[in-house]
Amino acid sequence: MITYSKHYINGAWQSAASQAIFEVHDASTEEVMATVPQGTADEASQAVLAARAAFPAWSALSVEERCQFIDKIVVGLKARTDEMANAIAREVGMPIKMAKMIQVGGPVFNWGNAAKVARAYHYEEKVGNSLVVREPIGVVGCITPWNFPLNQITLKIAPALAAGCTVVLKPSEIAPVNAMILADIIHEAGLPAGVFNLVNGAGPVVGEVLASHPEVDMVSFTGSTRAGKRVAALAAETVKRVTLELGGKSASVVLPDADLAAAVKGTLAACFLNSGQTCSAHTRMLVPESSYEQVKALLQAGIAKYPLGPSLAEDSRLGPLITSMQRERVLGFIQTGLDEGAELIAGGTAKPAFDKGYFVQPTALRVKPDDTLAREEIFGPVLVVLTYKDEDEAARIANDTIYGLGGGVWSATDEHAIAFARRMRTGQVDINGAPFNGNAPFGGYKQSGNGRENGKYGFEEFLEHKAIQLKPAEKT
């Protein structure tokens, strides 16, 4: 077990003021793998003031000078990939092979890409008699989740730093070990004191300071819609810029001309990634009524190919959920679905054959549009299937949600799929299982949030516009 007793404030590891700690559990064994200190409101404020003091000098550096620091962070991350992947696999539950590729490989790309975007970006343009410039917004408070912890940290602090902002990070108290490793890497890269700060803590304590502090210019939050509303309300008091990446209930729409086998395989992959603990997971599968029995058989066969196992086992395809509370929450949703009359296609509430670990069987149920499972974000390995009569009804069902983060469309032709995708009120739509694009904007409509991450779109969130009006030259 690793014991952390410090926060990273103003360029140094500072002993925590409080003796209170958070225990971090190995999701596969339920054992305590680490402890981190519970930060106080005063420590969060100290970090904010350190970031404020560092901002003028950091923002005055050239883009190239800032990006050279980021290049060093990339080197440090690559060198500690195995350590980082092991930590995330244990604290989150994603199988080690996928953790190395997705939970660490993705952030390595995104750190490097932030520097690439910053170096290529055009910060000034002439518009009539105005010089329009883009400048860093200032001090950014970053509040990040536990499901893809390092990647969501990276998508905030890497572009913020590249843009010339200084940051205070509050990582998830459930999966903070990766953030502590990253802070060590950032320290070794030699960033000036105060440019990057990390304070572990609870949302109602440290998170609320970041959202409300008058010296924070922007808060970037990823997490639940409920918590995002609280962050936005607090930030409104000082009129901060707010970016929110919140919940989802994404639809995978199988059109009548689709390849059913490919659609089922792709939907299961998009639903079960990280044991369903993914905000953009395709958790609602919409299929034509006439195809349901075929889809049901394909789902049963497909789900059988998702063996559960401990996250550090090389042959595990589906790991445990992150905590016992999350496991009970997901099992409760499955039971609610059954109580409301859902048809169980595969899986269910029976305990998997493991003595330890927060495991839930991969599950699929047929539900109706108004059922709880069709509307609530479950955040576990649970797929719900809904049937439709025609494409107009499919579009209505797909859009009948408070969320709008991801989605997919399956069809024999891209043209047909794209036409349907244009009808979906959601921030990202995958056509026939197309891969994720780290340079395309990621974010949601409706209560899935505000703002975008990834590539130049995420980078621009950390910049302000300034118009410098120039007096036109006098005519002679």
Sole residue written with tokens 């042959």? 315
Would residue 473 count as lying in a domain?
no
Residues 227/203, Cβ–Cβ less than 8 Å: yes
pTM over the 0.85 mark: yes
Residues 2/177, Cβ–Cβ less than 8 Å: yes
**Count of CA atoms in the C-beta half-sphere (13 A) of 383:** 32
Element (H, E) at 15: strand 12-15
CATH code at 341? 3.40.309.10
Would residue 427 count as lying in a domain?
yes
Predicted confidence (pLDDT) per residue in 397-453, tens digit: 999 999 999 999 999 999 999 999 999 999 999 999 999 999 999 999 999 999 999
Would residue 55 count as lying in a domain?
yes
CA distance 184 to 187: 5
In this structure, the answer to whether residues 263 and 285 fall within a common structural domain is yes
Of 137, 142, 203, the residue nearest 167 (C-alpha): 142
- In sequence order, what are the residues at sequence separation of 6 or more whose Cβ sits closer than 8 angstroms to the Cβ of residue 99? 85, 86, 88, 89, 92, 311
Would you state the structure tokens that stand for residue 28, as one six-digit string? Answer: 């596969």
In this structure, the answer to whether residues 242 and 310 fall within a common structural domain is no
- Residue 318 confidence (pLDDT): 97
Would residue 461 count as lying in a domain?
yes
Decide if pLDDT at 216 tops 90: yes
DSSP state of 206: I
Total count of domains within the chain: 2
Domain region containing 257: 250-443
- Residue 474 confidence (pLDDT): 81
Residues 375/354, Cβ–Cβ less than 8 Å: no
Q: How far is CA 315 from the centre of its chain?
A: 26
Average pLDDT in the 439-468 region? 98
In this structure, the answer to whether residues 129 and 6 fall within a common structural domain is yes
Give the residue numbers annotated as catalytic, written as ranges.
Answer: 245, 279
In this structure, the answer to whether residues 242 and 295 fall within a common structural domain is no
**What band does 476 get if pLDDT is binned at 50, 70 and 90?**
confident
In this structure, the answer to whether residues 237 and 352 fall within a common structural domain is no
Would residue 472 count as lying in a domain?
no
- Residue 51 confidence (pLDDT): 99
- Residue 475 confidence (pLDDT): 79
Of 111, 91, 189, the residue nearest 156 (C-alpha): 111
- Residue 473 confidence (pLDDT): 82
Of 372, 362, 363, the residue nearest 336 (C-alpha): 372
Phi, psi of 239 (to 5 degrees): 50, 50
In this structure, the answer to whether residues 178 and 226 fall within a common structural domain is yes
Residues 169/142, Cβ–Cβ less than 8 Å: yes
Query: Euclidean distance between the first and final Cα of the chain, in Å?
Result: 79
Percent over 90 (pLDDT), the chain: 99
238 burial class (0-12, 13-18, 19+ CB within 10 angstroms)? middle
CATH code at 35? 3.40.605.10
CA distance 50 to 183: 16
In this structure, the answer to whether residues 342 and 393 fall within a common structural domain is yes
In this structure, the answer to whether residues 325 and 360 fall within a common structural domain is yes
CA distance 95 to 62: 41
In this structure, the answer to whether residues 126 and 113 fall within a common structural domain is yes
Phi, psi of 98 (to 5 degrees): -75, -35
Predicted confidence (pLDDT) per residue in 32-87, tens digit: 999 999 999 999 999 999 999 999 999 999 999 999 999 999 999 999 999 999 99
Predicted confidence (pLDDT) per residue in 315-354, tens digit: 999 999 999 999 999 999 999 999 999 999 999 999 998 9
- Residue 184 confidence (pLDDT): 98
In this structure, the answer to whether residues 215 and 282 fall within a common structural domain is no
- Residue 379 confidence (pLDDT): 98
Q: What is the 3-state secondary structure (H, E, C) of 43-103?
A: HHHHHHHHHHHHHHHHHHCCHHHHHHHHHHHHHHHHHCHHHHHHHHHHHHCCCHHHHHHHH
In this structure, the answer to whether residues 459 and 406 fall within a common structural domain is no
Would residue 18 count as lying in a domain?
yes
In this structure, the answer to whether residues 387 and 438 fall within a common structural domain is yes
Phi, psi of 160 (to 5 degrees): -60, -45
DSSP state letters, 382-408: EEEEEEESSHHHHHHHHH-SS--S-EE
- In sequence order, what are the residues at sequence separation of 6 or more whose Cβ sits closer than 8 angstroms to the Cβ of residue 317? 95, 305, 306, 307, 308, 309
Would residue 474 count as lying in a domain?
no
